[in-house]
Chain A
Amino acid sequence: MKEKTKRTIAFYSMISPWFVVFIIFGLYPMLYGLYLSFTNYYGFNIKHLKWMGLQNYHKAFTDSDAMYSLGRTLYVTAFNVPLSVAIGLGLALLLNRQVRGVSVYRTIFYLPSIVPALASVIMWKVIFSSNNGILNGILSTVGLPEVNWLGYDYATTSLLIMLLWGAGGGVLINLAGLKGIPRDLYEAASIDGATPIKRTIYLTLPLMTPVIFFNVIMGIIGSLQIYMQPILLNGTELLARPIQPNYLYFVHAFQQIFAFQRFAYGMALLWILFLAILALSVVVFTTSKYWVHYETDQE
């Protein structure tokens, strides 16, 4: 057997456990969902499915709620991704310094990422409340007018604040990236007289672009799928409808499936989201060659 064939067999046999699980529990349900999105599946009529062609997809583009919620989702994503990537990186730069108690700070900033979403929403509701809420308390102490954080005008801002509170989750991978930058590069730069700021701009940032790139991609994927936070920020249960500005796309799909039993339409909505995620990711990928710096050559 040729060396290459051997290696190929080894490769596939090693990834096969993951692959088998993915096919059974990932790919198959996905494709079945794709099939259902072309039917009139209503949650009870699995034995009497009718082929509807592209009707559900067509409906999504004429459904004012779907388009509205997609717009709101892109809006949230447009703020959430850049800000959370920047905050995650900024925190990592600070936490990469050798100061006393740095591991305590690292834990503190990472903590929001391990708090369950439900618990963090309940906590933020108290913060945003107008009745003894902490945020309005601070505003009135410094003499600013109180606002309705969960009302029409500020609900999305509040959602973003809550999401960005979890931006410390990116610290871990950013720190790993920072630790991977060879120390001698910094030494060489210092000898050449580069200031700390210049070292950050011309050394750290370019070398961190692969990590930033990864965070941007994962951020987009995650951000387009947000649904639990906006629902629970205004409601008390998952079938509650969020306040209109926070009616995001995934919430709409969730509502269609579980409040209206429009399973087929919900599947179509999710496949459209999948395509949107794919398209956005491809866009980011194609731009990556202009701004992502790899130290090694790419295959």
Chain B
Amino acid sequence: MRKWSIMLTMVTAAAVVLSGCGSNDNGGSGNNGGNAATTNDSGGNNTGGNAGGNAAAGNDAGSANSGEVVTIRTNITDGELSKDQIAEFEKAHPNIKVEIETVDATKLAAELATGDAPDVIRLSGVFDLPNYVIKGIALDLTDRMNTSTVIKQDDLLPISNVYRFDGKTVGAGPIYGLPKDWSNDYAIFYNKKLFDAAGVAVPDPTKPLTWPEVMDLAKKLTIKDGDKVKQYGLAANEWGKTEPNFNNLLQYLLSAGVDVSAADGASVDFNQPAVKDYIDMWVDAVKNNVGPNSVNNDQTSGGDLFFKDQVAMIIDGYWYSGAIRNNEGAKTHLADYGMLPTPTAPNGTRVAPTGGATGAIINKASKHPDEAWTFFEWFFGGKPADDRASTGWGLPIFKSKMDLLPKDTDFDKQVNAVLQDELNYTSEYLKVNPYLAGGGWSIFDKYVQPLYFGKSNLDEAISGMTKDANVAIQEAKDAVEASQ
């Protein structure tokens, strides 16, 4: 009998494997693999208070007649939408209740899979939108957008078109959503103190560097004391290591004028000189220790190093100026910091694309699309949009709200001057394969990581990632076609 009770326990334990592996893992920060490059939302301290205002005038046609109270669920985070703001909205719209649902990427995937996703779905415009559209999850908002009195189409910046997708090209076709804010995510912020320590001049902010020039600069800025690094030259982002990543590759390719995807998105081919140059350049940077990486095994994140005066430059967009302004150590000497324009590929065209454009769509399966739209309109065009712009944690999508950005200090002025120039190069979007979506990040890491350790070579890596990506794309495409 004892044997059998052990057997039973064993089977039960094994059953845990099969009944959903995402159950006990809410530990991770769980942001979507794809949009990891832009955590524009890390500090989104919306002030709240007197929200509501102009949104009440919106065209809530469908909601007025029923009189019943409906609940709109959204996974916009509580850092982006405060309780006070929700209260204001609900006061102005007594028929709508707003419920914030905290989901990580895995839970959202599960909710989408079971048809239980929120009414207003928060996502990365660049990496998720095309994928959501081809899967039929996103509601077409074109007509509502065109007639909206809150969101005026002629006031929108070109960047908002990243939520347009016609099945092949991002930026064209129906409108499915809007970014809450955005940034030129591949620009560079610097700390002048560390340039001085290395005896290197800060580059001219009116001209973009090329990426190889950035790497050379990073090497010059890296100061070693024997084996130990005293200061690094470059951080690739605020949360991780100074290593290449898929998003960053796409910016480089956009500048180089290369698209790894076939025109219909049905296949990819990484076997292109620009891809090889990009990987070579970064593997060299890893081997030269210009930042914390897998080989030197420094576990300090780029952002920590930047604020500890241990890394001279960090690749980040405008939103990072908000992080600098709000950092206790940095805010006392803001004049030491500044932004450089987004670098280009060698001989490439100048582009300053967004790498995230986090925003939202309305779920096609929503039972209350009209109420969801009322909320959507208010969140993207109403008071919350003003609040967001004035904090400087991201760029507004409206021309008219650009004036709300911080502009008092010399730091603000330097950043704004570079930004004005950058705005002229933001109408192109990263070429994301709609079928591969977030998977590209994982495939890229799989094949590039061994290169740092000399466990593989470039040709193997390129052919491996091409093969893996095409398998994933083909399968996703078959599933999409079978469901149409």
Partner among A128, A133, A238 whose Cβ is within 8 Å of the Cβ of B30: A238
Chain B nearest Cβ from A38, distance in angstroms = 14
Chain A residue with the shortest CB-CB distance to B472: A260
Query: B240 contacts which chain A residues (CB < 8 A)?
Result: 236
Is the Cβ of A294 less than 8 Å from the Cβ of B2? yes
**Interface check A92, CB cutoff 8 A:** no
What does the 1/0 interface line of A1-24 toward B look like (CB < 8 Å)? 000000000000000000000100
Is the Cβ of B482 less than 8 Å from the Cβ of A255? no
Q: Which of B112, B294, B297, B445 is packed against the most chain A CB atoms within 10 Å? A: B297
Chain A nearest Cβ from B91, distance in angstroms = 36
Please tell me which stretch of A74-82, A185-193, A195-203, A224-232 contacts chain B, meaning at least 4 of its Cβ atoms lie within 8 angstroms of it.
A224-232
Chain B residue with the shortest CB-CB distance to A271: B18
Contacts known (A130-B298, A238-B106, A258-B106); A274 close to B450, Cβ less than 8 A: no
Is the Cβ of B104 less than 8 Å from the Cβ of A238? yes
Is the Cβ of B441 less than 8 Å from the Cβ of A259? yes
What does the 1/0 interface line of A209-252 toward B look like (CB < 8 Å)? 01001100110011001011001101011111101100100100
Please tell me which stretch of B19-27, B149-157, B178-186 contacts chain A, meaning at least 4 of its Cβ atoms lie within 8 angstroms of it.
B19-27
Chain B nearest Cβ from A219, distance in angstroms = 11
Is the Cβ of A243 less than 8 Å from the Cβ of B439? no
Is the Cβ of A48 less than 8 Å from the Cβ of B292? no
Is the Cβ of A26 less than 8 Å from the Cβ of B472? no
Please tell me which stretch of A83-91, A98-106, A149-157, A176-184 contacts chain B, meaning at least 4 of its Cβ atoms lie within 8 angstroms of it.
A149-157
Number of interface residues of B (CB under 8 A): 69
**Interface check A204, CB cutoff 8 A:** no
Partner among B12, B31, B298, B483 whose Cβ is within 8 Å of the Cβ of A45: B483
Is the Cβ of B450 less than 8 Å from the Cβ of A152? yes
Query: A227 contacts which chain B residues (CB < 8 A)?
Result: 21
Please tell me which stretch of B3-11, B58-66, B252-260 contacts chain A, meaning at least 4 of its Cβ atoms lie within 8 angstroms of it.
B3-11
Contacts known (A238-B25, A260-B472); A48 close to B482, Cβ less than 8 A: yes
Chain B nearest Cβ from A259, distance in angstroms = 5
**Interface check A139, CB cutoff 8 A:** no
Chain A nearest Cβ from B305, distance in angstroms = 10
Chain A nearest Cβ from B104, distance in angstroms = 7
Query: A239 contacts which chain B residues (CB < 8 A)?
Result: 30, 32-33, 105-106, 438, 441-442
Is the Cβ of B19 less than 8 Å from the Cβ of A255? no
Partner among B105, B292, B299, B478 whose Cβ is within 8 Å of the Cβ of A126: B299
Is the Cβ of A47 less than 8 Å from the Cβ of B483? yes
Query: B301 contacts which chain A residues (CB < 8 A)?
Result: 236
Partner among B2, B33, B104, B239 whose Cβ is within 8 Å of the Cβ of A210: B2
Is the Cβ of A261 less than 8 Å from the Cβ of B10? no
Query: B476 contacts which chain A residues (CB < 8 A)?
Result: 42, 260-261
CA distance A270 to B59 in the complex (A): 49
Query: A150 contacts which chain B residues (CB < 8 A)?
Result: 294, 297, 299
Is the Cβ of B294 less than 8 Å from the Cβ of A29? no
Chain A residue with the shortest CB-CB distance to B482: A50
Within 8 A of B (CB), among A91-132: 116-118, 125-126, 128-131
Within 8 A of B (CB), among A240-299: 240-241, 243-244, 247, 250, 253-255, 257-263, 265, 270-271, 273-274, 277-278, 281, 285, 288, 294, 296, 298-299
What does the 1/0 interface line of B279-290 toward A look like (CB < 8 Å)? 000000000000
Query: B417 contacts which chain A residues (CB < 8 A)?
Result: none
Partner among A222, A259, A298 whose Cβ is within 8 Å of the Cβ of B1: A298
CA distance A247 to B455 in the complex (A): 15
Is the Cβ of B17 less than 8 Å from the Cβ of A277? yes
**Interface check B479, CB cutoff 8 A:** yes
Partner among B27, B29, B297, B439 whose Cβ is within 8 Å of the Cβ of A260: B439
Query: B3 contacts which chain A residues (CB < 8 A)?
Result: 285, 288, 298-299
**Interface check A30, CB cutoff 8 A:** yes
**Interface check B300, CB cutoff 8 A:** yes
Is the Cβ of B475 less than 8 Å from the Cβ of A262? yes
Query: A228 contacts which chain B residues (CB < 8 A)?
Result: 25, 27-28
Contacts known (A46-B115, A130-B296, A253-B21); A241 close to B442, Cβ less than 8 A: yes
Chain A residue with the shortest CB-CB distance to B1: A299
Number of interface residues of A (CB under 8 A): 82
**Interface check B419, CB cutoff 8 A:** no
Is the Cβ of A46 less than 8 Å from the Cβ of B482? no
**Interface check A33, CB cutoff 8 A:** yes
Is the Cβ of B298 less than 8 Å from the Cβ of A217? no
Is the Cβ of A237 less than 8 Å from the Cβ of B36? yes
Is the Cβ of B22 less than 8 Å from the Cβ of A258? yes
Partner among B6, B9, B294 whose Cβ is within 8 Å of the Cβ of A234: B294
CA distance A254 to B106 in the complex (A): 9
Is the Cβ of B482 less than 8 Å from the Cβ of A259? no
Chain B nearest Cβ from A114, distance in angstroms = 14
Partner among A151, A234, A253 whose Cβ is within 8 Å of the Cβ of B453: A151
**Interface check B171, CB cutoff 8 A:** no
Chain B nearest Cβ from A291, distance in angstroms = 14
What does the 1/0 interface line of B22-48 toward A look like (CB < 8 Å)? 100101111111001000000000000
CA distance A26 to B12 in the complex (A): 9
Query: A148 contacts which chain B residues (CB < 8 A)?
Result: 295-297
CA distance A298 to B7 in the complex (A): 14
Is the Cβ of A29 less than 8 Å from the Cβ of B446? no
Contacts known (A44-B135, A118-B27); A26 close to B113, Cβ less than 8 A: no
Chain A residue with the shortest CB-CB distance to B16: A225
Is the Cβ of A30 less than 8 Å from the Cβ of B442? no
Is the Cβ of A237 less than 8 Å from the Cβ of B2? no
Within 8 A of A (CB), among B402-430: none
Is the Cβ of A244 less than 8 Å from the Cβ of B449? yes
Is the Cβ of B449 less than 8 Å from the Cβ of A243? yes
Within 8 A of A (CB), among B92-136: 104-106, 109, 112-115, 135-136
Is the Cβ of B299 less than 8 Å from the Cβ of A131? yes
Query: A261 contacts which chain B residues (CB < 8 A)?
Result: 109, 437, 476
Is the Cβ of A44 less than 8 Å from the Cβ of B299? no
**Interface check B13, CB cutoff 8 A:** yes
Q: List 28 A-B contacts (CB under 8 A).
A: A40-B475, A40-B478, A41-B479, A43-B112, A117-B27, A126-B299, A130-B299, A131-B299, A131-B300, A133-B297, A148-B296, A151-B295, A210-B2, A217-B10, A221-B14, A225-B17, A236-B239, A237-B30, A238-B104, A239-B33, A239-B438, A240-B445, A260-B476, A261-B437, A281-B14, A285-B3, A298-B2, A298-B3
Q: Which 4 A-B pairs have the closest CB atoms?
A: A118-B27, A130-B297, A42-B479, A238-B28
For the complex with contacts A153-B453, A237-B36, 11 further pairs of A-B residues with Cβ separation under 8 Å are: A40-B479, A116-B27, A126-B299, A130-B298, A218-B9, A232-B27, A239-B441, A241-B442, A258-B106, A263-B113, A298-B3
